[in-house]
Amino acid sequence: MQRITVVSPNRTGVLAEVTEVLARKNISIDSIAADTIGTQGLIHIDLEHADSAIAALTAAGYQTVAEEVLLARIADRPGAVAELSRRLLDARVDIRALNLVQRNDGWAVIAISTSDNAAARRIIASEAI
C-alpha cells in the first residue's frame, strides 16, 4: 500500500478539493487523515493506486510525497501498539507514521511507515496482512 501526503497551505476547503480530485478519477481511498502544522495543511491518504492519484493531484496543482506503507494486524487490546513499537525500536527502526485503519472482532489493522520498511516487514511478518 502507498501513502500520499498532500502538502498545502492551511485553508478552508482543501480537504474537499483533494478528495473531489480523487473521486473524479474514481480513485478509492483506504484511509485518510488530515493535520495542520502552523500555516501548512497535511493530508495523508493511504491507497492502492498511488501513481494515478499522484498524477491527478499534481495536475490539480497539489504538492505530493509518496511512501510505502505496511499494514499490520494486531490484537485490539491495550498495549498492542506499545509492543509493536518496542519491537521496532529494539531493531532500531524508526516509526515515521502510524494510524489505525480498522477495528473488528478483537483485531486492529494499522498502517505504518518506517525508516526501514524491509526490516519492519520482517519484524511484523507474523502480523502483516
| pLDDT tens digit sequence for 44-79 | 999 988 999 999 999 999 999 999 999 888 999 999
Q: Is residue 129 part of a domain?
A: no
Q: Please indicate, yes or no, whether residues 58 and 7 belong to a single structural domain of this protein.
A: yes
Q: Please indicate, yes or no, whether residues 45 and 86 belong to a single structural domain of this protein.
A: no
Grid cell, residue 108, equals: 486492529
pLDDT at residue 25 is higher than 80? yes
pLDDT confidence band for 1 (50 / 70 / 90): confident
pTM: 0.78
* Alpha carbons 65 and 43: distance in angstroms, whole number: 10
Nearest 10 degrees: CA dihedral of 70, 75, 81, 83? -110
Q: Please indicate, yes or no, whether residues 99 and 63 belong to a single structural domain of this protein.
A: no
Looking at 68, 87, 105, which one is the last position of a domain? 68
pLDDT at residue 29 is higher than 90? yes
Number of Cβ within 10 Å of residue 92's Cβ equals 9
CATH code of the domain containing 11: 3.30.2130.10
* Alpha carbons 34 and 36: distance in angstroms, whole number: 7
Q: Is residue 112 part of a domain?
A: yes
- How many domains is the chain partitioned into structurally? 2
Q: Is residue 128 part of a domain?
A: no
Domain that includes residue 18, residue range: 2-68
pLDDT at 127: 59
